Chain A
Amino acid sequence: MTILSDVSVTVERAGALTLVGPSGSGKSTLLRCLNRLVEATTGTVRFDGREIRSLDPRDLRRRAALVMQTPVLFEGSVRENLRVRPAGAPGDFSEARLTRTLDEVGLDGGFLDRDAMTLSGGEKQRVTIARALLRDPDALLLDEPTSALDPPNAALVIETISRLRQTRRLSIVAVTHQPELVRHLGGWLLYLVNGRVHAYEPAGGTDAAADPQLRAFLAGQQRADARSPA
């Protein structure tokens, strides 16, 4: 079964690409092809000019960090979660850096001692973003990072992501249903339908989408967002 075909996109350094489309259109699969959690059967993916099959998948995944829809935290404190890493992996995981990184995602140092299981959904998602940042990634791959959150928390996470893109010059590829995130990220918009590119255009405001079908899709999502309980 073919999930994706004829998809060709480029994301610049510090650029943004948003993947939108109906469920089952292949957005998450495309995202996972980028860090090789899913193997593309044909075609090529290049990262920093190199074919990703020539890179060690573990290094690739540290440099192109994935943040999932439902934040996965492990049992233990926030500190332990931030320090989760393969044995012998390099990097600075000092207390000072953990605090600094938490600050980047809008959480204070007091969170380090908190039991990860007791955090709210929004806090968990920000901790997973901080965990990704500690690996000094070049790119963030976001799989519907705000869809499991209530609107105020979603807004905070969206604000965090767009700020990080500026401050860290991160390239961002995001799957989302939320026009709010599209608007904040800017960059390019890829509209996938049934695994094929239906539209690929610069992301303007919600109403500015050139493709009529994409415009209708985004407007529909906007209305769905407005209806969702706060």
Chain B
Amino acid sequence: MTGTTTVMDLAWWQLLLALLLVGVTIAISIRQNLGLERDLVVGSLRAMTQLYLVGLILAAVFSAARWYWVILILGVMTAVATQAVVSRLRKPLPGAYGIAAVAMSVSTAATLAYVIGVVVRVHPWYEPQYIVPIAGMILGNSMTSAALAGDRLQGELRARADEVEARLALGFSGREAVHPLVRASLQAAMIPVVNGMMTVGLVQLPGMMTGQILAGSSPMTAIRYQIVVVFMLATATAIGSLLFVRLAARRYLTPAHQLRRYLF
């Protein structure tokens, strides 16, 4: 990376100045009777504490640069993403943790391996400066799309259970009978990503690109990374939501091609 400017370090008193912005938000909440004051205070405190702790951990991992620390961090991130996906389901699904864990880890591992090993060619592969933020972006997107797809699948099942049973009654297999619902769920999960590709850079600069530019990279370096990121996130989203929805859809069916109506 070629630095074009030096990075300005932020002092604690500057962060406190930024906190005044939350004051404005709280004032709006009080004036408009939104009732969000408490959440805003808690949210601000949590954001500061969580980010501070993450900063400490990352600083330690970056300086140690050991593969096992990196793997541990990736494991924790995957576990948090798994939990987030499961908690977004409106109705609990038996085995949801296992399904979400498979979807999150496979989509992240596959995409990450290609980006780190083949595209960017990071040496050593576990260089935390690259792998941790990239894995974070992949997981975040895979998590959002899997949650969206799972929520949509449950909604589709509730709305279209008769249609599924009609197909079963016509001799379709369970997998064939739910396929249109699976397809609708995947489309719902992927459309935001595809739309994002259409407008990337035009409305707002993506977070990673902003970060790189703020940190002193040239915009041309930043956009190259961003292009990789856009493609990588589309893949992670597709794999993550596909695995989650396909595996979840199987849970709603029995081996005798029956619909488990009590599950949704």
Q: Do A and B come together as binding partners?
A: yes
Interface residues of A (CB under 8 A from B): 35-39, 53, 57-59, 61-62, 65-66, 68, 70, 72, 74, 84-87, 89, 128, 131-132, 135
The interface residues of chain A lying within 8 Å CB-to-CB of B172 are: 58, 85-86
CB atoms of A37 and B171 under 8 A apart = no
**Cβ A68 vs Cβ B165 within 8 A:** yes
B251 within 8 A of A: no
Show 6 residue pairs from A and B whose CB-CB distance is below 8 angstroms, ordered by the A residue.
Answer: A37-B168, A39-B254, A57-B256, A65-B169, A85-B172, A132-B170
Quick one: CB contact mask for B158-193 with A, threshold 8 Å, 1 for yes? 000011011111111100100000000000000000
Count of chain B residues near A, Cβ 8 A: 17
Q: Which of B163, B171, B256 contacts A39 (CB 8 A)?
A: B256
Can you name the residue of chain A whose Cβ is closest to the Cβ of B255? A57
* A89:B256 contact, CB within 8 angstroms: no
Closest chain A residue, CB of each to CB of B169: A66
- Tell me the complex Cα distance, A85–B170, Å: 7
User: In the complex, which residues of chain B have a beta carbon less than 8 angstroms from the beta carbon of A84?
Assistant: 167, 170
- Inter-chain CA distance A53–B258, complex, in Å, is 13
Residues of chain B with a CB closer than 8 A to A59's CB: 171
Q: Give the shortest distance, in Å, between A38 (CB) and chain B (any CB).
A: 7
Chain A contact residues: helix, strand, loop or mixed: loop
B170 touches A62 (CB 8 A): yes
Complex interface: chain A residues within 8 A of B256 (CB): 36, 39, 53, 57
Q: Given A37-B168, A62-B170, are A87 and B176 also a contact pair (CB < 8 Å)?
A: yes
6 new A-B pairs (CB below 8 Å) besides A61-B171, A62-B171?
A58-B257, A66-B169, A68-B162, A72-B165, A86-B172, A86-B176
- Name the one of A58, A68, A70, A128 contacting B171, with C-beta atoms under 8 angstroms: A58
Give the residue name and chain of the A residue nearest to B163 (CB): A72
Judge if B61 is at the interface, Cβ distance under 8 Å: no
Q: Are B170 and A135 in contact (CB-based, < 8 A)?
A: yes
Q: Which residue of B lies closest to A38 (CB)?
A: B258
Taking a contact as CB atoms under 8 Å apart, the answer to whether B162 and A72 are in contact is: yes
How long is the Cα–Cα vector from A183 to B54 in the complex, in angstroms?
A: 75
Provide the residues of chain A in CB contact with B162, threshold 8 Å: 68, 70, 72
